[in-house]
Structures are given as C-alpha cells and as structure tokens.
Structure 1
Amino acid sequence: MFYSHLMTALSTPRPWPRPPVAILHRDLDRPPEKARITVAGLVLVRQRPGTAHGVVFITLEDETGIANIVVWRSIYEKFRRAVVAGRALRVTGQIQRESGVAHVIAEQVEDISWMLDRLAQPNATPPARG
C-alpha cells in the first residue's frame, strides 16, 4: 500500500510552485536594461570569492533555465539568512546585461524553501499563482 502510494505521488506531475510575479528565467531577455524584476528558483550554486570583496554570486534554476544573481555586501548583510540557508529563493532586483548574459542585481532576497517542503506532501495543493 505504502509503495503504490509513493509511486503514484512520484509519478504524478506537479506544477512548479511559481511564486507570485516571478518572471520565467527563459524570459530574462525581455525586460529592458535596469528594469526591476523578480525571479525565483532552486539554488544551484552560491559563490563568495575572496577577490570579490564580499559580493555573493548565486545561480538559481527554474523549470525553464537559470538566472545569475549578484548580491552586494550591504544586501547580503540585510538578507544573510536567506542568502546562506535558502534552498529556493525569490529575488527582486534590477536586470543588467553584459556580453549577452543577464544578471539580476539583488535588492531583496526571500527564502521560499517552504514551497519545496509543501511539494513533498502527498496530497498537497500547490501554492496559488499570483
């Protein structure tokens, strides 16, 4: 019984728990330079190179691609817990493009890991889309 319930839960596709107003990563080429946007996704990589003077670089992934996040020291200090511990983040900031690569310069960082925990519940209703 448990096994069949588990297999059903694993094989049933669930919609990605997209937070309200988050742009898909595949669409990061659409907003104009310096537009204020929100992205959300799973944290793939956090980097804090010693040569970056306290800047943290985060790579987020959603179901459509990746987003590169730049977190300046002052923003890191303000949202430290989310930046360090979040498994999934929602980041709001300005989009910046250089050499064909888009970066989001973080202004606000929110830990949305609770959405992942909710997906693990067998009969959970996905969070509402905004």
Structure 2
Amino acid sequence: MEPLLSPPDWPRAPVCLPHHLLHLPPEGARVAVAGLVLVRQRPGTAKGVIFVTLEDEFGVCNVVVWQKIYQRFRRAVIAGRLLRVTGRVQRQSGVTHVVAEEVEDISALLDDLVRLHEPTRAADQP
C-alpha cells in the first residue's frame, strides 16, 4: 500500500494568498485567491453583480464579480468548483472582499487530487 500523501504534496493553486491573510494587503492591492466555491449569489437588487464565497483550508473569502467581468469569465463563474480569482482588495464595514478582475476555473486540480488518492480509496473497499 502506498503511503498517504501529506498536504504539501497535494495539487495547489499557483501563488495565491491564503484567506486568513487577506487582512494584510492594503486597500486596493491586487491579490490572487483560490478556493472551493461554497456559494454563488445573484440578488435581483444587485444590478447584475454576483457574489461568490470561496473556501480554502484557512477560511473563507468574499468575491464580488461585476457584470462586465462576469460576461468575460461566465463559464468559470457559473460552473467552476474550484476557482482562482485575481482582483483588488476592498474593505467595507469591517468586511474584506476581493473585487474580481480575472476568474479562472482550476477545478481540474480537484480531479488530480482524486486520482492521487485512488489507490487509497480502493484499499478501503471490502
């Protein structure tokens, strides 16, 4: 049986700021974050804005996707299970958001993770 992989061996999104460190960059700084999509919200009163909540191993990140960016990255915003978002830090009423400039679907990394652990999963079967 192969040894279990430790977290550093997992596929990782390239050069992303962990969510628990989002308080460090100054307002307006350009950052990249990545995480599993927990929630997508498109309130009728938001004038086409989509709110996405991402989660990494350290916490959650609120992402604001304006209509123009949504049109450019529609497929990733709608279908992505794991996203990498590059954008600007915005703080409002004590809440930190990342205002998206680019959205990349990196869900393939999840598929890689499953493939890495298939021998382990097979060993769990009776």
TM range (shorter): 0.7 to 0.9
Answering whether residue 79 of structure 2 is matched by residue 92 of structure 1, we say no
SS of residue matched to 1:20:
coil
Q: Normalising by structure 2, what TM-score?
A: 0.86
**Number of positions where the alignment pairs a residue of Structure 1 with one of Structure 2:** 117
2:26 alignment counterpart: 32
Question: What stretches of structure 1 of length at least 5 have no aligned partner?
Answer: 125-130
Q: Is the 8 A contact 2:11 2:112 kept in 1?
A: no
Percent identity, aligned pairs only, is: 62
Question: What stretches of structure 2 of length at least 5 have no aligned partner?
Answer: 119-126
> What root-mean-square deviation, in Å, do the aligned CA atoms of Structure 1 and Structure 2 show?
1.9
SS of residue matched to 1:40:
strand
Q: Is the 8 A contact 1:60 1:68 kept in 2?
A: yes
Structure 1 distance, partners of 2:87, 2:49, is 15
Answering whether residue 17 of structure 2 is matched by residue 23 of structure 1, we say yes
> Where do 4+ consecutive residues of structure 1 move more than 6 Å?
none
Q: How does 1:114-125 map to 2 (within 5 A)?
A: 114-122=108-116
Q: Normalising by structure 1, what TM-score?
A: 0.83
1:111, distance to aligned residue in structure 2 (A): 0.1
Answering whether residue 36 of structure 2 is matched by residue 42 of structure 1, we say yes
